A = this chain, B = another copy of it.
Amino acid sequence: MARINFQRFLDLMAQQAEIGATPEGGLNRPALSEMDIRARQWLFERATAAGLEVAMDGAGNQRVMLRANDPDAQTLLIGSHLDSVPNGGRFDGALGVVAGLEVLLTLKDSGAELPFHVEVVNFTDEEGTLRGLLGSSAMTGTLTAEGLPNVRGGADALQEGLSRLGLSSETLLNARRDFANVMGYLEVHIEQGTRLEQAGINIGVVTSIVGVRSYWLTLTGEAAHAGTKPMADRRDALWGAAHLIQQARELVLQYFQPGVVNFGSIHAEPGAFNIVPAEVRLALEFRHGDPEKLDAMQTALFNVIRRSATEFNLEVEITPAGLIPPAPMAEPMVQLVEQAASGLGLSHTRLMSFAGHDAQSLANVTPSVMFFVPSVRGISHNPAEYSTPQDCINAAEVMLQAVLGLADR
Contact = CB atoms under 8 A, between A and B. Distances in A.
Interface string A221-250: 000011111111100101101110110010
A374 interface: no
A261 to B, nearest CB: 7
Contacts of A378: 228-229
25 contacts: A191-B228, A193-B228, A194-B233, A212-B227, A225-B355, A226-B262, A226-B285, A227-B353, A227-B356, A228-B355, A228-B378, A231-B257, A231-B260, A231-B261, A236-B262, A241-B242, A246-B246, A264-B273, A264-B276, A264-B277, A265-B271, A266-B277, A266-B280, A273-B322, A274-B285
Contacts of A192: 225, 228
Nearest to A287: B227
Contact of A230 (B193, B239, B246, B262): B193
A231 B243 contact: no
B260 A354 contact: no
A91 to B, nearest CB: 14
Given A321-B273, A354-B225, A380-B225, A249 B231 contact: yes
Interface of A: 191-195, 210, 212, 214, 225-233, 236, 238-239, 241-243, 245-246, 249, 252-253, 257-258, 260-268, 271-277, 280, 283, 285, 287, 321-322, 353-356, 378, 380-381
A260 B229 CA distance: 9
Instruction: Give the secondary structure class of A's interface.
Output: mixed
A277 B263 contact: yes
A297 to B, nearest CB: 13
A353 to B, nearest CB: 8
Nearest to A245: B242
Across chains A and B, which 6 residue pairs bring their CB atoms closest together, nearest first? A227-B354, A226-B262, A242-B245, A193-B228, A242-B242, A265-B271
A193 B224 CA distance: 10
Nearest to A195: B230
A285 B277 CA distance: 12
A30 to B, nearest CB: 16
B287 A283 contact: no
Contacts of A231: 249, 252-253, 257, 260-261
Nearest to A263: B238
Given A229-B378, A265-B268, 5 more contacts: A194-B233, A227-B355, A236-B262, A246-B246, A265-B273
B264 A275 contact: yes
Contacts of A230: 193-195, 258, 260
B267 A267 contact: yes
A265 to B, nearest CB: 4
A223 to B, nearest CB: 9
A103 to B, nearest CB: 26
Contacts of A226: 260, 262, 264, 285, 287
A240 to B, nearest CB: 10
